[in-house]
Chain A
Amino acid sequence: MNVRRGLPRNAFILMMLAPTTVLLLGVTLFPFITALVMSFTNYSLIRPDELAWIGFGNYANLLGSTEFWQALRVTAVFTIVAVAVQMVLGAAIALLLHYETRRSAWLRIIYLLPMAITPVAATFTFRMMFNPSLGVINHMFKAVGLPPQDWLGSPSTALFSLLVVDTWQWTPFIMLIAVGGLAAMDDEPLEASQMDGASFWQTLGHHVLPMLTPYLAFALVFRSIDAFKTFDIIFVLTGGGPGTLTRTLNLLTYKHGIEFLAMGYAAAISIVMLIIAIVASQIFLRRLKLLQPRQARI
């Protein structure tokens, strides 16, 4: 491509990328390097004077501990189930909404409310609603003759209850991205296929979903990254209990870093989480061939 005026191609690329690079490097580089270095030390806020380099000591302790593997399992189950449910629900709602023309503006706002409410207030509202003796959920259960449940305290329902809250809060995220994707979608092939007599499901499967896939894939990546780090709803609703059944990796990081002040160890957990996230998203993005831009033409 010959462009005659303006900046040369490479200078243009540089100019467009520079602000992002500078800001991200400026803000995240120092904290990240520090955390990385910290993870190889016994840095504890309780004993700052005994700071020493311990190599992979933290990592060895971590990987040799049962609490890590248990937390990893809880985190994996939570992330996979939460994201799967939210993807299906969010995409479905976005499609339904796409076909709704009259009330869509209001519905979109209603659907975004769970994300718009301060998580602190939302989670405390859920804590109130889940309360076994005062909560409205058990109240309604009793009204229809069902036995009241110990939603957050019982080993059989605690994780489920957390998944309900997470799904309530974050399905709108998937929905919003899918709505944006559908809005940007080129409707012509869709119309053509309908004219040719294709059924709704055929159109959906052959045209809509393939076009939506990259958006949904990106939504999935970000939702998974965030779900993997879920902290506040678990912290407020169960604190990791009953026992350690809802203790996720990020909760473990908070416990070791902020409550036990073992920052070196907490940093090691963070780095391990980072590595897991990098590996998982690399595999996923490569599988779907989304790591390379699909349309790099210039």
Chain B
Amino acid sequence: MANTTVPKAQRSFEKVNEIVRKYEAKESMLIPILQEVQEEYRYLPEEILTYIATALDISPATVYGVATFYAQFSLNPKGKYVINVCDGTACHVRGSSPILEAIRRKVGLAAGKITTDDLGFTVQTVSCLGACGLAPAVVINDKVYGQVTEEAIELIIDQLKQKEAEGDN
């Protein structure tokens, strides 16, 4: 991911154009375009959506409609680490609720919020990961953690925080 000459955010904007061009600005390609743009920004900023609407010659309201229909898209900035706690039946009965609470406490989330103010962590629940054998399961970015306990998840978060602290130096 190292890119020394161009600042990060600037590279991102070039990326939006690259993505739009890659899909030939086709209206039918709106969803893959949004997916890739979200990959780049970790969310879908309002003005980028308007920009995409203009490039695809559709109305911003339509792009907004698609972006809000699918749970995978977020219109609010997400944290660097997105923690998905499975709350499907199996995980729920194996105690996913206390784990969710433990995570929220550990990363310091105020009530009603899903993302920390420093954009470090986003904590949310998902219905079922299809990993019931590992219940209770938690996914952090793309990594799956199985049979999680409160102690284990606190340790994992500590490690992530430490990694960040080192990365900043």
Question: Do these two chains really belong together in a complex?
Answer: no
